[in-house]
Amino acid sequence: MENHYASVIESPIGKLTIFADDEFVHAVTFADADVRDLTQNALTLKVALQFEDYFKGKLKDFDFPIKQKGTDFQQQVWQNLIAIPYGETTSYAKFSEHHPLAIRAIAAANGKNNIAIAVPCHRVIGSNGKLVGYAGGLWRKQWLLQHEREIAQKGQTEIKF
C-alpha cells in the first residue's frame, strides 16, 4: 500500500492543498479537504515552496512529478494544458483545433484536471474572450490570469536609446 501525504499552504486566493504519495503529486486543490491523518513529506514540501514562489511572481514553470488518474485522452489534454505559455491564454476552440469535433470532450477533460495552477486549465477561456468554467471559481481564474500577465510583463526589458 502506498503512503499518502499532504501539505496545505495559504495563498492570496485561498488555501491550497497538495496531495502526493512518495513519488508523484496526485492533486492540488482549493476545495476544503480532510488532511487530519496525513502528514507532509519531502515532495509536498517542495511543491508547497514552488507554489509560494509562484504566488510571489518568482516561478513560472513547475517541475514536480505529476500523476493524475485519467484516460489516455485526458492525459493528452492535460499535457497540452502544460504547453500553454505562462501569462497567455487560449480559447477552447483554438485549444481543440486539431480535434474540432472533440471540443466538448476536451472541455470535459479540462474540467477533470485535479492539479490546479501547475496544469494551467485556468489559461483556457471562451472564444469570445470571456472567462468560463473554473472549478476553483471564476474569481480565482481571473486573479490567476491577471497575476501571470503582470509578472510576465515585468520580465520584459525596456529598450533605452
**The three three-digit cell numbers of residue 63, written as one number:** 517541475
94 vs 72: which has the higher pLDDT: 72
154: confidence class by pLDDT, cuts 50, 70, 90 = low
The full set of domain ranges for the chain reads 5-56, 72-152
114-142 per-position pLDDT tens digit: 999 999 999 998 888 888 778 788 999 99
CB 92 within 8 A of CB 121: no
pTM, two decimal places: 0.88
Where does residue 63 rank: exposed (0-12), middle (13-18), buried (19+ CB within 10 A)?
A: exposed
10: left (phi over 0), alpha (psi -120 to 50) or beta: beta
Just list the catalytic residues. 121
Q: Which CATH architecture has domain 72-152?
A: Orthogonal Bundle (1.10)
What does the mean pLDDT of the chain come to?
89
Q: State mean pLDDT over 67-83.
A: 94
